[in-house]
Amino acid sequence: MARKKSRRGTAKRRRQKGRKSKPLAVRLRCRLIYWMAVASVWGTIGGALSAGYFALTLPDVSTLGAERRRPTISLLAADGSILETHGDLYGETLTFDELPPHLINAVIATEDRRFYTHPGMDVIGLARAMVANVKAGRIVQGGSTLTQQLAKNLFLTPERTLGRKVREVMLALWLERKFSKQEILELYLNRVYLGAGTYGADGAARRYFGISARKLSLPQSAMLAGLMKAPTRFAPTRNLKRSHRRTAQVLDNMVAAGQLSAAAARQAKAQPAHPHKMASAPDRRYFTHWVLERLPDFVAVGHQDLTVVTTLDPGLQSRAEKGIKTALARDGERLAVGQGALIAMRSTGQVQAMVGGRSYQVSQFNRATQARRQPGSAFKVFVYLTAFERGLGPETVMRDSALTLGDWRPRNYKRTFVGETTLRNAFAQSINTVAVKVSERAGRRHVIATAERLGITSPLPPHPSVALGTASVSLLELTSAYAVFANNGLGVMAHGISEVRDGEGTVLYRRSGSGPGPLVAPLHIRQMTDLLRTAVESGTGKAARIDRPVAGKTGTSQDFRDAWFIGFADDLVTGVWFGNDNGSPMKNVTGGGLPARTWAQFMTGSMGDKKPDAPPKKKAPSFFKRLFNFN
């Protein structure tokens, strides 16, 4: 028994001695191999679990054919030209054979040169990008293939996370197994975002060049391919020089990839692509945004594409913009005038030109529709119409003399009195005291009711001064009310939308009807038109005279803060306003000055080739009519 114990002890000492005799490096190597094996096993298990997790959390690939985009609203002018497009713009879905070879080659040379050989993930490209990023200390290159980019565009969000990258790779491998290389390119080029709200090659070609992607030239194809790296930064509509530099890089890439000769690249650089000019100028947005605000009143603006045919006349709009800008550039500083606005509409309410200020880019506030300013004597049409409806007439005689109502005393512009005068002359010369007397005789609440009947919706306090236009109204309201006289007494609803169609061309809304119907009797329309023409022929509106009969009225608010001219010739009704946003006075600017001249310049040439209407022959009133004020 003692011997056995002795042998065991000896064997144990020998084993311990053997362990101690192994070098330290060998022991460390053995332990390293052991733990590497353990880590490998757990890493494999962890990788399998992670892959399973990401596979289970992949998005639904059945949405491959669905387009995730905002609905497109295209606004057209009355002649069918494009004014503005809102939302995401897609063109036609083109097949691979319809896509220009230059575009395909430019995209592959720039974005994924090994596209036809990799299985969806380019290991070489990924390694090269990692090295470049490490050297630069920041992300300067991406290793995503076209297939990965397509997977991200179709199924994922742009978030920069490891999880998103893993899912992107897995989806790219799935796409490569399910589709051919040509089909992947076709999907990619029909879905890729190319700046300015455009998706797909055809949408971008139509937005930037006004053509189908089928007709893209080499320089145009290279420009679109260059957008894919940073669509907003390299958009030609944002910075053309930067876009041309990027296009040159794409052409060099095509030469390096053997897809283009150096001579062809030099020729393309010498004749770079230029974006076409859009029909919509910035200042037309006063009108287009006014239309968009009213669109939900006619159709449901949801997830469908819409085409909105508006009433805007591009020719009249250009004349209106030029007229306001010219007036402000010529006289603005000299006369302390900061802003102007103009609205032109047909007598039945179709708004054909709208200028809401001197520059939409500087200020989006629409002074034609949003501003409420005092119309001054331009409000007197409601006073005199009310008086005529209650028994007075153009030949009624009243005295221009001092007048006091409570603690208020109206004054005339010239601070003088003319004595007895007819209402026709008092209106033409814009005599304030007579207008107040007429208002008081007809009843100021009746005057307010007349203004509201003709379309004034702004509050009108029943103060005696309401007769002189001290209550604030908008240019759109006042111009629409004057249109009633041009429309033979029929009510007018100012509008900018003629028709709305969905993406399939189905008409959802079409303007019909003639508005509120008769509002003013024919006799009183003739009387008011006579007064309005007299105001231009021999009154305060002389500067508005053109080559045909004009009916209109000037308006000037207290201390020259606002100056107006509203009038019509044939069936075109136009309102002009000048003033300052802060309400500061202008330098003696009256409605018969800058507004009337601007109105006449706009209307001259805006009437087309139609011959002027002959003015109605005036008959002198008989003795009995003068005696008894019959009209």
The candidate with the shortest Cα–Cα distance to 229, out of 109, 98, 91, 137, is 109
Give the SS3 label for residue 371: coil
Catalytic-labelled residue, pool 84, 111, 186, 477:
111
186: annotated active-site residue = no
Contact residues for 319 (Cβ-Cβ < 8 A; gap 6+): 353, 602, 605, 606
111 is catalytic: yes
Which candidate, 192, 196, 197, places its Cα nearest to that of 99?
192
Cα 448 to its chain centre, rounded Å, is 36
For residues 365 and 357, the answer to whether their CB atoms sit within 8 Å is: yes
How does DSSP classify residue 76?
E
Structure tokens at 166: 């893993």
C-alpha span between 152 and 148 (Å, rounded)? 6
Going by DSSP bridges, is the β-strand pair 306-310/198-199 parallel, antiparallel, or unpaired? unpaired
Strand, coil or helix: 301: coil
- One-letter amino acid at 212 equals S
* CA pair distance 389, 394, nearest whole angstrom: 12
Structure tokens at 385: 């119409």
Out of 74, 144, 221, 377, the active site residue is 377
Q: 323-354 burial, b if ≥16 CB within 10 A, otherwise e? A: bbbebbeebbeebebbbbbbbbbbbbbbbbbb
Closest CA to 533 of 520, 518, 545, 551: 551
Instruction: Quickly list DSSP for 341-365.
Output: EEEEEETTSBEEEEE-SS-TTT---
Q: Round to whole Å and give the CA distance between 401 and 419.
A: 6
d(CA 338, CA 324): 11
DSSP state for residue 87 in the 8-state scheme: S
What is the per-residue burial (b if ≥16 Cβ within 10 Å, else e) of 95-128? ebeebbebbbbbbbbbbbbebeebebbbeebbee
Q: What is the DSSP code string of 152-167?
A: HHHH--S---HHHHHH
As a dihedral over the C-alpha atoms of residue 191, residue 273, residue 257, residue 145, rounded to 10 degrees, the angle is -20
- Spell out where 326-448 has E strands: 339-346, 351-355, 397-400, 419-422
Catalytically annotated residues: 111, 377
